[in-house]
Structure 1
Amino acid sequence: MNNIDKLIYPQNGRRKNIFYSGKGGVGKTSMACITAVQTAKKGFKTLLLTTDPAAHIGNVLDKPVTDEITKIDGLENLYAVKIDQKKAMEDYKNQILEDVRGKFDENTVKAMEEELNSPCTEEMAAFQKFIEYAGKEDFEVIVFDTAPTGHTLRLLELPMDWSKQIQLKARLSAGISEADKEQKEKFDKVIEMMKNEEETTFSFVMYPEKTPIIEAYRASEELKTVGIKTRMIVANMIIPEEQAVTSFFKNRRNMQLKYLEEIKERFNEAVVLPVPMYERQIKGMEMLERISYNIFEKESL
């Protein structure tokens, strides 16, 4: 079994969680879809989940994807879901306000409502949904297509903000409710899961160019501070050697190969997976199955 196999397939009967992060537009969604198709093909019941409000997993799969877990036609074992942040926020707010109405006076409830109308609450609501899906026991692999890097880092800091909201509720009601304790336990469990290298592969997707490398390196160093190691780097959009026939493309490919070496140097604890540029947009199950075979089963570049 090669290093990549260990990073994408479940080991020792434990579920595998694969996170793809990186700046917007580098190919995270395509890479998440390709990986989910590969693990499903290998017989693992797989959930493809996006936390990115701008994600287009439905377009890449060429199948409808909603905020309910849906089986994807055309491939056994593949399911997909997207987190609808606006809907999640409304549900989350209503749940909290429902809890405090009747216990406190109107002014206190209004103050809480105002406090809940913040971007932080929207992130919290999405995180709560993320926790709900990440805690599901009935999948052998979950592939997370995350929002751009900054959002992913915020996602990991959210339990701190969540604790503040809990403290606010505790001050008002002189104690933390059982439901809050249960939620806190779920949060802690998922954060621990993300730190467990046997269960989780955290990956950055990037182009082999200077700025994306520096940005991803900074983000990976920040992740280290919360105990999460970067295990895999996807160097995307590499010009295939057989296509580098003009001086322009030869120069571009040589530049990419130079940066590929820098990626290997900087992220020396991670496995680097080079992924070629394709001549057309990645779309549909047939193309995804072919690419997943080329990337994960054939010899890489």
Structure 2
Amino acid sequence: MKEVMCMSNIEKLIYPQNGKRKNIFFSGKGGVGKTSIACITAVQTSKKGFKTLLITTDPAAHIGNVLDKPVMDEITKIDGVENLYAVKIDQRKATEEYKNAILEDARKKFDINTVKAMEEELNSPCTEEMAAFQKFIDYACEENFDVIVFDTAPTGHTLRLLELPLDWSKQIQLKAGLTAEISEADKAQKERFDKVIEMMKDKETTTFSFVMYPEKTPIIEAYRASKELETIGIKTQLVVVNMIIPEEQAITPFFKNRRNMQMKYIEEIKERFKEAEILQVPLFEKEIKGLKMLTQISKILFS
């Protein structure tokens, strides 16, 4: 694995350290630009020579549109950038696979009435979340990458995803039945869950970041979420302040007022997230799309 020397604090948060893989999570309110920032970061790490996997856990994600390349529900090499791969979690497909696996195992152990009861129990939003989380775990356990960048769903969904291991015992009981013992496979899966959560708590291995634009609602939502994450041992290390009006563009009263407002909120962000590094991203005049533009922006942000 390539080592990067003389790095800034932000670079240390996105590049692998001491030979360990780096995991970077981007979360935040819907519409703040998480996908664009995740794509920019993934392009940057891959350009630096790190084999990078870009993953989206957001059912509404558009990483394929931002990359201007097709992204499937299987890991795909992104043409045009060496070392860059991407995948999106298809929640519907993941849910069906998860349910079928449980029911197939149940049919070997239980009578038809028990299986029907389990089938009804599995028709719940919790099952969809567990299925998506299991896919997330599968990718998080990938050993073939130097960097994994996670473009996550909006904040509330992300928090629920990360807290799911706390509810794992309920799913274990469902799979095992009322009297059956927990299988070795379930024990192994629980160990994988625990391993990934511990990985996310390791500040050297994992960078958890919130993306926001400098306005009140995204700041409050991200701050509350960061405090909730702290209760399960995950600290926010990076805050990306997106869509800042460039000073040279603030030449009319309207844009001057907007920029002044943004500057005040940036000070509030620094006050609320005292322990995190702040990355400021300007508002670009064009839609962020395509590898050429992503590469240009990554050089601006991480040079």
* TM-score bin (small chain): over 0.9
Q: Secondary structure at the match of 1:202?
A: strand
| 2:217 is the counterpart of 1:215 | no
Cα RMSD over matched residues?
0.8
Structure 1 regions of 5+ residues with no counterpart? none
1: distance between equivalents of 2:136 and 2:74? 13
Choose the corresponding residue for 2:144, options 138, 142, 148: 138
1:172, distance to aligned residue in structure 2 (A): 3.3
Residue in 2 that maps onto 1:168: 174
Q: How far did residue 211 of structure 1 move? A: 1.3
* Rounded Cα–Cα distance in structure 2 between residues aligned with 1:153 and 1:264: 23
Q: What's the offset of the Cα at 1:168?
A: 3.0
Q: Structure 2 stretches of 5 or more lacking a match?
A: 1-6
TM-fit CA distance, 1:165: 1.3
Give the letter for the 1:248 counterpart.
F
Do 2:68 and 2:290's aligned partners in 1 also have CA atoms closer than 8 Å?
yes
Residue of structure 2 in register with 1:189 after alignment:
195
TM superposition score normalised by structure 1: 0.97
Equivalent residue number for residue 77 of structure 1: 83
The alignment status of 1:92 with 2:98, answered yes or no, reads: yes
Paired with 1:173 and 1:9, the residues of 2 have a C-alpha distance of: 48
Distance 2:120 2:167 in 1: 16
| SS at structure 2 position matched to 1:75 | coil
State the distance in 2 between where 1:144 and 1:165 align.
25
* 1:264 and 2:270 are equivalent in the alignment: yes
State the alpha-carbon separation in 2 of the partners of residues 268 and 160 from structure 1. 29
Aligned pair partner of 1:280 in 256, 280, 286: 286
**Matched AA of 1:286:** K
Contact 2:102–2:175 (CA under 8 A) maintained in structure 1: no
Q: Summarize deviations over 1:51-86 as a string: whole Å, max 9, x none.
A: 000000000000000001000000000000000000
Deviation at 1:167, TM superposition (A): 2.0
Q: Distance in 2 between matches of 1:169 and 1:118?
A: 15
The alpha carbon displacement at 1:227 in A equals 0.2
- Counterpart check, 1:110 vs 2:116: yes
Q: Deviations over 1:135-168 (max 9, x none)?
A: 0000000000000000110011111222211023
Partner of 1:52: 58
Output the amino acid matched with 2:54.
L
Q: Show the 5 A alignment for 1:234-249.
A: 234-249=240-255
Q: What amino acid does structure 1 have at the position aligned with 2:220?
A: I
Aligned equivalents of 1:28, 1:163: Cα separation in 2: 32
Deviation at 1:34, TM superposition (A): 0.2
2:205 pairs with one of 193, 196, 199:
199
Q: How many residues align?
A: 297
Code of the residue aligned with 1:254 in structure 2: it is N
TM-score, scaled relative to structure 2: 0.97
**Percent of aligned pairs sharing the same letter:** 81
